Structure 1
């Protein structure tokens, strides 16, 4: 039995046959440069749109105090700093000893000429609260 071996092509012919020639390397490099440039443009546009073109934060809420009145009531105080004349809403919550929410209320904050104000809200709870605090505020 005779075994035939195929003729071995030169290295350039093999590289061209399997897409590893100089022309293919240049084409791959060109696609890499175009893809990288597109990524840089999209990322730069996202940074500008999301960070630089938006105004700075206009709202800050901080807990001031709380008082557990009884097994079904807690009073929460918080300070809200917002641009004068801007309405907002705040979510106030009461938590039990296991950090479960046992009271919740969304409070409308009307616009005012003062930048920082102190608010007090009384919450009814489903069981005895261990703490009361401001959860989050947002502009409306």
Structure 2
């Protein structure tokens, strides 16, 4: 004759261990929290540069105007490039922008070139 305990074991009515599930849920919550924290800190340090225009001063100089949007109270550095008609780089310069209290700043940078440029633009910016 089978007992009630044997029937419970046969048909899966035994107590399941909860420890593995609890540990898995804790690990998942910690992982999601770490991912959210890394994303938030990366976004707080991001800098966005939008080209506003350029002026060809002469055959060896270009002035690039751009708007810097991003972090407040931190120094920023940007790479500004001058390109020829085939989009080859004929001049570039690292522009260091001191910390400002405004969320957005209009910047103008003069780039010396080795040949005549047809355009100027901002390649990238980062928190210095």
TM-score, with normalisation over the residues of structure 1? Answer: 0.63
| Equivalent residue number for residue 129 of structure 1 | 117
Consecutive unaligned residues in structure 2, runs of 5 or more: 1-26
Per-residue deviation at 1:118? 0.4
**1:9-61 CA distance string (max 9 Å, x none):** xxxxxxxxxxxxxxxxxxxxxxxxxxxxxxxx79x94x764x52222253111
- In our comparison, the structure showing a higher alpha carbon Rg is 1
Per-residue deviation at 1:91? 0.4
The 5 A counterparts of 1:1-140 are 45=31, 49=34, 51-54=35-38, 55=40, 56=43, 58-140=46-128
Consecutive unaligned residues in structure 1, runs of 5 or more: 1-40
Per-residue deviation at 1:115? 1.0
**1:39-87 CA distance string (max 9 Å, x none):** xx79x94x764x5222225311110110111111110000001222011
| Equivalent residue number for residue 11 of structure 2 | none
Q: CA RMSD in A?
A: 2.1
CA distance in 2, matches of 1:139, 1:59: 7
SS of match in other structure, 1:53: helix
TM-score, with normalisation over the residues of structure 2? Answer: 0.68
CA distance in 1, matches of 2:98, 2:123: 18
The count of aligned residue pairs is 98
